[in-house]
Amino acid sequence: MSINSQFPDYELDEKLVVTAVDQLRAMSHPLRGTILDLVLERAASVSELAAAVGRPKSTMAHHVKVLFEAGMLRVVRTRKVRAIDERFYGRTARIFAVGAVPGATIDDLVAHGNALSVAAVESVPAYEADQLRTIMRHARIRPENAAEFWARIEAVTHEFTQLPRAGDTVFGFAAGLYPTEHPSLPEPT
């Protein structure tokens, strides 16, 4: 069930389908999303996570606890530091896919569902520096073709997360597939 090529440095399941409100809320918080991104590279302690994002250890410990209790993080190893066990946390799955979440409000879904709006905000400096690469297309296709295409996008996303770590720049990768009201041509006669 687990595939582990290069990243991260611990075993994890390939996919977890989020079906609980607490999981959806846990992953929707921006700082917790950052934590999940960071530990996709390697397991990390609360101290390392706090240093990476410039936040107090107490704040980071709270957010790690929320993710841990939601089943999205787990302790993957420990080490002794001055007679105390330091815990290193890793994700429980490479991909968290949102399924049907009974009891979720529209606010819960909106808070999670729009990764593209986060990408739009993050990409402004790249746009201003003429370093932004984007593409957007519309196609009238069958739902089963959309599902097959999305599986390929997930594979490309996996490939992106496995690229060798180097340099000083962290790049973002965003993808979306969604039904629209975009016009289409009628069938040819």
What are 145-172's pLDDT values in tens digits? 999 999 999 889 888 888 888 888 989 8
Residues 107 and 121 in one domain: no
* pTM as predicted: 0.71
What average pLDDT does range 63-75 have in this prediction? 97
What average pLDDT does range 52-77 have in this prediction? 96
Burial of 110 (0-12, 13-18, 19+ CB in 10 A): exposed
What average pLDDT does range 104-113 have in this prediction? 67
Query: Which pLDDT belongs to residue 112?
Result: 63
Task: Assess contact for 6 and 162: CB atoms under 8 A.
Answer: yes
Residues 146 and 172 in one domain: yes
Q: Identify the domain containing residue 122 by its residue range.
A: 114-189
Residues 88 and 154 in one domain: no
Q: How many domains does the chain have?
A: 2
Q: What is the rounded average pLDDT for all residues in the chain?
A: 86
pLDDT classification of 23: cutoffs 50, 70, 90: very high
Residues 141 and 181 in one domain: yes
Q: Which H or E run includes 91?
A: strand 84-91
